[in-house]
Amino acid sequence: MFSDDKAQQEQYSRCILQLCGAAEGFEGLRLSKDSVGEFDVCNLSLQICKDPVVTPEGVIYDREAILTYMLDQKTKIAQTKKRKLKEAAAEEAEEELPKKVFKGESTRDVATDRFGSGTASFWDASKAPTTKKESAFKEKDVDKVRDPVTGSILKLKKLVKIKFTPVDPTMSETKRQASKSRWKCPVTGDILSNKIACVVIKPTGDVVTSKAADVMKKDMIFPIGDVALKSTDFIPLRRGGTGFASANEGLAAKMYRPVMQA
């Protein structure tokens, strides 16, 4: 029985290594493409956005998903405030009750005469400094809804509606979601994908390539409609992530080996 359990453990470990792409060890670990979502995927639902919006940091969400998230967070914040106020009222009520003086303790008046403090005992837990966890509710912006990806304060009025340009306008929605080449740059006509850096034009909501955005920054004019632009109207779009890997961060790894020292 013991040998069977050991064989199963070895088989399980071998399968894990193969799934990670490093059957000979983790020295050559390589993340698969499944660890990175598409650029037009909502970072909450992990599905292709039907009504996409983008934050000032370039994180894309489906409008329904982000609004549901914001409502849930506001409800939790309100419940937390209510609970904190109730706890504070209960603590104040306890402080108003006269404390019983046990044998070996001094009364409050005697303690004031001896130690210069109203504490009736040598150490009072209520006088101890609070930890960061206990005082976190009093910190600034704790009652604000925060972006689940970047952690910045999330406001509804700062969300920008995105307008993707389809490669084939006659294609049905079902076929478009199954296709890898769904959208294109309205200026250059290049196919948009994770391999190409994309930028959202804030006044129009169009998604263009970074090369097209660099050309627009010279004249500060969007060529379709001759819309005047500002430097803050360019929002670099982050790629979608699945939670398996940080797709938009600069990941770096170092390997250390034992060395002989002189």
65-102: b (≥16 Cβ within 10 Å) or e: bbeebbeeeeeeeeeeeeeeeeeeeeeeeeeeeeeeee
pLDDT computed for residue 93 by the predictor:
76
Q: Are 240 and 41 in contact (CB under 8 A)?
A: yes
pLDDT computed for residue 244 by the predictor:
43
pLDDT computed for residue 208 by the predictor:
94
Question: CA 98, 99, 103 angle in degrees (round to 5)?
Answer: 140
pLDDT computed for residue 125 by the predictor:
56
Q: pTM of the entire structure?
A: 0.63
Cα 49 to Cα 37: distance, rounded to the nearest angstrom: 12
Extents of the domains making up the chain? 84-135, 163-237
Quote the longest CA-to-CA distance of the chain.
89
131-151: b (≥16 Cβ within 10 Å) or e: eeeeeeeeeeeeeebebebbe
- Residues (pLDDT < 50) of the chain are 1-2, 22-29, 132-140, 241-247
Cα 16 to Cα 23: distance, rounded to the nearest angstrom: 8
- How many C-beta atoms lie closer than 10 Å to residue 238's C-beta? 21
Cα 139 to Cα 132: distance, rounded to the nearest angstrom: 9
pLDDT computed for residue 151 by the predictor:
86
Kindly report the backbone phi and psi dihedral angles of residue 122, in degrees, each rounded to the nearest multiple of 5, phi listed first: -65, -40
Q: Hey, is 90 helix, strand or coil?
A: helix
CATH of region 163-237: 3.30.40.10
Quote the DSSP letter at residue 252.
-
Residues above pLDDT 70, as percent of the chain: 59
Whose CA is closest to 38, among 241, 245, 197?
241
Whose CA is closest to 147, among 60, 220, 222, 21?
60
State pLDDT tens for residues 15-46.
665 665 544 444 444 555 555 677 888 888 88
